[in-house]
Amino acid sequence: MFVTVVIKDTLIIKPERFKKDIVTAVEDEIHMKYSNKILPDVGLCVSIYDFISIGDPHIYPNQQGNYFVEASFRLIVFKPFVGEIITGRIMGSDPEQGLKVAIGFFNDIYIPPYLLAQPCKYDEETSQWQWIYEDNALPYAHPQEIRFRVNSLTFNTTIDSNPPHEEKAPMIITGRANEPGLGLTSWWTQSGDEEQ
């Protein structure tokens, strides 16, 4: 779920940070530039892990007194792999899109209807998807805990010159809950709790 990636970047340090030592100034700039941002085809940057190298600062003319530092560093990145099983919480249901799921720090997770346990149906009265199991309707209720498998990871890197009303998230996880052991965790733990 979390990986480290090596980044090499030239960072701009503004004069107001000159009073800090170079490592702290560079670290602050990395946090501002990368933390909680999506890097296309890489993932969601969480934090800096460590430095590989920090070059000497350079000042160039006509740069408002800023200095430039070339640095190599490792970032901790959230990028689940396809097939990984994750536990999250159902944040909503939609008759066309299926379930919206969040895992606390990341909310762009969707489980489409065709990847829910089958047979399933959308109940208009409760606004919830339901798994029909042996004549019982088991609801995918909000905000229940759900276990799902990562089906795909999509990065949206194109900029639409005519943007739609709703912007696409820069990274979307599509999950599946149509295998034994997946779905609401309460479905699979109740029988085990009774045996203990």
The pLDDT tens digits of the residues spanning 145-171 come to 999 999 999 998 765 545 554 567 889
Burial 122-151 (b: 16+ CB within 10 A, else e): beeeeebbbbeeeeeebebeeeeebbbbbb
pTM of the model: 0.80
Structural domain for 10, as ranges: 2-78
pLDDT 10s digits, 47-83: 999 999 998 888 777 767 788 999 999 999 999 999 9
Residues 100 and 179 in one domain: yes
Residues 65 and 94 in one domain: no
Residues 29 and 105 in one domain: no
